[in-house]
Structures are given as structure tokens and as C-alpha cells.
Structure 1
Amino acid sequence: MASRSLSNPLLRHLSRRTTISSISIRHTPKRLFTTPSSPPITPLKRPSLPRHPSKPLITTFRRTLFIQTEPTPNPDALKFIPGLPVLPPNASSVEYTSGRQATNSLLARSLFQLDGVTSVFYGPDFITVTKAPDSLWHLLKPEVFALITEYLNNGQPVVQGEVLENEDTKAREGDSEVVSMIKELLDTRIRPAIQEDGGDIEYRGFTDSGQVLLKLRGACRTCDSSTVTLKNGIESMLMHYIEEVKGVTQVLDQEEEIAQREFERFEANLAKLKGNDAKTSGPHGIDAAP
């Protein structure tokens, strides 16, 4: 039966194809017949793609940023976390309270052009944006998102030029033991906690009366609970570990002192006007009907 089946030309053809296809043939780059005078075989090179002399063939990939936001104790400040370093390592935080100050930061100038932005703060790996009390986050946040994403995708630094290092808590030759302990505690325990809230602290000195002079920055600077942060948080920790510390005092810059005095004067005048209105109106005022 097998001999009759193979007598068919078509069956013989199929059988021959099956037999050949089942054999594993491996090609090796060796010469089958070589002689001592045969030159060595060089492998063929893969042809390269033609390239324009002025346009090299370069494949680039752009990373897509995934920016997260975190609330801060200050309802008018929002912390934006891009997932990559914002400032160089060991750099001091940078804060702008107006567009005129942001001469070395294109991103900060762009953010100040948005209606309602009052402060821009750069931390090690986050950006804190503070708005005016009458602005709404659900209208402002998408625009801040767009500006930060577009700028960081270009790969440019947020601060042009040299960025100062964080030297306020750096150990110095003339520091006493108490000052060294204060700086170490601020740098290792207190500063990371303040940065978690979108702000930072700056050491300004230690007085003979035992007062630690600090300046709050970022979201903590304009927060209503800044006094609570200083007294219940920083002051309690410093006094617990260092007995020479008797308290913590907040330090303001000259511009901030002027603004605070003007605000206190405005509140005093407003209270005086309200007091005069209360005397000249109402059921017992001079304008009341006899």
C-alpha cells in the first residue's frame, strides 16, 4: 500500500518536501573547503541608513510629568510636587513675593502673571504657590498646572544663574555648643517637618536671653497658624532638647515689617470707623428718633 501511494508523483513530491523541511540546517560562517593560502572570511556589514550631514540621526524621548498637589495648613497655599528635583542638592529655598523680585526665574514671572498669585516658593522637590484670599483654587490650579508642566518639560532650571547653598544652619567655626545643637536640631528634625507643609525656616541667630530667632518662609509665612507652629511646634521641641533655649521669636524682613505696620494701622482705623458708626446709629445712637 505504501509503495502504491509513493508511486503517485504528487505524493512523492509532498513526501520529499516534508523530509527536507524536517532537517535542521545550521549555517556557520566557516569555509567548507579551506587551504593554507585561503584569505580569512570577513563578515558582511549591515548597510547603514543614509543621514543628512547637518541632521544626525538621534532618537529622543520626552518624559511626561505627573504633578501631584498637597494641601498645606495655609488654605491660600498649595504644594505642587513634580516628582523630580526643583533645586540643586543642598541649595537654599527660594521665595518670591512679587513679580519684580523674580528677575532670575522665568517660571515665577509667568506664575505672577496669573490673576491671584501672590507668592512663589521653590523647595528642594516642590513648588508652593500662594494665592490671594479672594481667588478660587478650582479656577487657578489648572493654569498653574499648565505653566509648571510646560516649563519643567523643557528641562530648564527654575532659577537662572547661581543658587545659594543652605548656609543658615551650616556649622561655623565660632559657634558655641548651644548654637551647634540648635542648628543640628533645626536641620535634621524641624526643617523636614516644615517642608512637608510647603514651607521652610531660616535661622537668624540666638540671643543672650535664650531666644532663637527664626524666619518662616513659603506657606508658613502667611499662615494664620504660624504662631501656633512657632510656639507649640518649634519652640516646644527646642526647649525640650536644649535647656538654654527660653523661647522662639519670629523675625520679619524690612518690607514685611512695613507691610505689617500698615496693616495694623488700617485695622485700627477700620475699628475706629466702626466704633463711630456704632455711636451715631442704632436704637441708642444720636440718629435715633426721639
Structure 2
Amino acid sequence: MASKTAVRTLVTAVKRPSPSTSAAACRCQRVATAQSSRQFSDAARPSPLSSNTKRYRPSISPHSRLVVKQTPPAARTIFIQTEDTPNADALKFRPNHDILPDGFPSSFLEYLSPRSTLAPPHPSPLAAQLLNVDGVTSVFYGKDYITVTKDSSTPWAHVKPEVFSLISETVTSGQPIVNTVENKTGEDGQGSSSSEAEATYAPEDEEVVGMIQELLETRIRPAIQEDGGDIEFRGFHEGQVMLKLRGACRTCDSSTVTLKNGIESMLMHYIEEVKGVQQVMDQEEEVAMKEFAKFEEKLRAQKGADAAPSTVGKGTLDTAEA
């Protein structure tokens, strides 16, 4: 009995800890330990997406923006082909560019003096520059070629480089080769096929003239244009066809042969009304021919009758006497 009473007294004296009290004490202790080890800062906490440099969101910086560069237009290239003509003093220059624009009222233009390059209706800055080249006497424009004629005393080695340079510069720059201005005087400053509208012939010969013009256009003109020239129909009188040669054919020594053996023979073969062909010269050309003939005669008088001719070619005194 005494022992049971002693045990009961001991149990009462030593009480077991309450479960709720011990759990609260443990939680307080863990919180205190965690607070003592943490350090707080006012700095903003990094986002998990941006805490690593590899996780940055893509953005376009000013230096990495796509810049579209405008490439300048490619330089225009030009190829100029030269062709010989039956006239040793005339060369045909054919650039890969039209000389006369589409719809031009004439099939050719011819400039015989610096004044003609400024006169209406078709002045040409390029022709003015070409006539300023030493030795150049005339400039002829076809549809897609330029015929340059020089005097016989100037070699082509001195003329060709400047002609090449002027044509290349004009074509590559895009400047117009031929301008059109109002013609108030009514006189053509340049030789052109527009003068064919002023051809003279009798009204009863209109049918014959039509056949002549058709033959000139389809058979004769293309062949002459290949030689760097052209031809004009000036009239038809008493069976004679009046024609004028242009370009390289105008000063060619074989122009008379071309008229008689080539053109005249063809016209007489196809058109029985044609009896012959005559070459027409402008007033300025006739005056120049007469003055040149006087000059030749004076030289021969000074040198003597047995002296060799100073010049040889069409229109000279020696050719006229032959």
C-alpha cells in the first residue's frame, strides 16, 4: 500500500508536458533561427525570367536594327561600233542607243556648220561639240548611227578618240541628242528628209513619182544608209529624177558612180518613164564648188599646166576635166 501511494504521489508531482505547448515552442524556435539567418534588402527582387542572362526577352537594340541600304543604280554601259564607208573621210559610229527618237519626222539630220547646230527646228548640242573637233566638217544623224566626215588632211587617229568620248558622254548622261524648237523663220537649219515634201513635179506625173519614191524607200535608201548616208527625192522633170545624196555619200568620190551605175540603172529598169538621174546641190554647195574650182585653177596656173593636181576628188577641177 505504501509503495502504491508513493508512486501515485510521484506521478502527480511530475506532470507530462502538454502537446500543444511543445509544438508551439518548436515553431517559435525555427522562426527565430530562420530570421537570424535571413538578410532583407530594399532592392527589387529579380524576376525568375530575367535572373539569368540567357533568359532575357528578345529586344531590338538600336545597333542591331535592320537597315535597308539603297543601292545606287548601275552605271549605264555603252558600246560604240565603228564601220568604214566607201568614203575614206567618213566613219560611221553606231552606239547601242537610238540617235533619232521614235516618231521623228525625218529619217536623218545633217549638220554642215556650227550655225546649223543651233538653228531651228532641230538643234543638237552633240553635233555642236563634234563640229568643234579639229578636222570634222559635217555630222550626219541616222536612226541609230552617226556619220562623222572630216577633211582629208586630218588623220583619223586624231579625230576618233574625241568623237568616241563625246558620244559616250552624251549617251551615258541621258541628255537629249536632238532637240525640237519652234521654227519661226520657216527655214530648215539642218538638212532633213522633210524637204522631200517640197519636191517639184508635174501633176500628171504623180503616179510615176509615187513609183519612184516607193523604189527609193524600199530598195535604194536602205543600201545607202548602210554606207552611212541617205538620199532625198527633189523632183521629176522631163524624165529626169532629181536626187540629193547626204552623209558619207555627199562627199564620196564614188557618188557619181553610185548615181549613174546604181540608182539610175535601177530606176530605168523598173520605171520606163525615167530617162536619167541628176544630182542636186544646194545654193551654198554650188557657191563652194565654184570657189574651190577657181582656187584649183589658180594653183595650177602658178605651178604650170604639167603640175600634179593638188587635190583629187569629186567636185575638183581635175575630176571635172576628166
Q: TM-score, normalised by structure 2?
A: 0.64
Structure 1 runs, 4 residues or longer, greater than 6 Å off: none
Rounded Cα–Cα distance in structure 2 between residues aligned with 1:276 and 1:97:
34
Q: Which residue of 1 aligns with 2:251?
A: 222
Rounded Cα–Cα distance in structure 1 between residues aligned with 2:103 and 2:241:
23
Equivalent residue runs for 1:138-157 within 5 Å: 138-157=157-176
Report the alpha carbon displacement of residue 268 of structure 1 after superposing the two structures with TM: 1.9
Rounded Cα–Cα distance in structure 2 between residues aligned with 1:177 and 1:192:
23
Structure 1 or 2: larger helix share? 2
Q: Is the 8 A contact 2:140 2:148 kept in 1?
A: yes
Residue type of the partner of 1:192?
P
Rounded Cα–Cα distance in structure 2 between residues aligned with 1:217 and 1:146:
25
Q: Is the 8 A contact 2:231 2:244 kept in 1?
A: yes
Once the two structures are superposed, residues 34-84 of structure 1 have per-residue CA deviations (whole angstroms, 9 ceiling, x without a partner) of xxxxxxxxxxxxx98579xxxxx5852332010000000000000000022
Aligned residues: 225
Rounded Cα–Cα distance in structure 1 between residues aligned with 2:306 and 2:211:
55
Q: Is the 8 A contact 1:90 1:166 kept in 2?
A: no
Rounded Cα–Cα distance in structure 2 between residues aligned with 1:126 and 1:49:
45
Rounded Cα–Cα distance in structure 2 between residues aligned with 1:65 and 1:50:
30
Once the two structures are superposed, residues 76-114 of structure 1 have per-residue CA deviations (whole angstroms, 9 ceiling, x without a partner) of 000000022110235321111111211111111111111
Rounded Cα–Cα distance in structure 2 between residues aligned with 1:276 and 1:244:
44
Rounded Cα–Cα distance in structure 2 between residues aligned with 1:90 and 1:266:
44
Residue type of the partner of 2:110?
E
2:271 is the alignment partner of 1:242: yes
- Residue identity over aligned pairs, in percent, reads 61
Secondary structure of the residue aligned to 1:213 is strand
Of structures 1 and 2, the larger Rg is shown by 2
Q: What are the ranges of 5 or more consecutive residues in structure 1 without an aligned counterpart? A: 1-46, 52-56, 279-290
Q: Is the 8 A contact 1:169 1:187 kept in 2?
A: no
2:220 is the alignment partner of 1:190: yes
Report the alpha carbon displacement of residue 269 of structure 1 after superposing the two structures with TM: 1.9
Q: Which residue of 2 aligns with 1:273?
A: 302
Alpha carbons of structure 1 residues 115 and 210: separation in structure 2 relative to 1, 3 Å: same
Q: Is the 8 A contact 2:147 2:229 kept in 1?
A: yes
Rounded Cα–Cα distance in structure 2 between residues aligned with 1:190 and 1:232:
12
Greater shift in the superposed pair: 177-186 or 94-103: 94-103
Q: TM-score, normalised by structure 1?
A: 0.71
2:101 pairs, out of 88, 100, 110, with 88
